Amino acid sequence: MELTAVFQKVPEGYIAFVEELTGANTQGATLDEARKNLFEAIKMVVDANRFFTTNSTNP
């Protein structure tokens, strides 16, 4: 699966997000830091989605 990572330069450093994955966004003082943080954010969103999917109850 391919995802689109977007990095934007801002006065404080960089902001980053994944277009196809709501909630996967972050920031960093440098591009490298923003990239590392984005990988962590992606993992957190996927893990949370997996948790809520496997622990949801059907009425």
pTM for the whole structure = 0.83
Domain-located, residue 39: yes
What are the tokens at 39? 């990988």
Q: What is the pLDDT of residue 58?
A: 58
Residues in the chain: 59
Q: Chain-wide mean pLDDT for the chain?
A: 93
36 close to 26: Cβ distance less than 8 angstroms: no
pLDDT tens, 9-43?
999 999 999 999 999 999 999 999 999 999 999 99
DSSP 58: -
Domain-located, residue 45: yes
Which residue segment(s) compose the domain that 33 sits in?
Answer: 5-54
- Rounded to whole angstroms, the Cα distance separating 14 from 33 reads 9
Q: What is the pLDDT of residue 57?
A: 65
φ/ψ (deg, to 5) at 38? -65, -40
Residue 59 has pLDDT above 60, yes or no: no
Domain-located, residue 59: no
Q: How many domains does the chain have?
A: 1
Domain-located, residue 35: yes
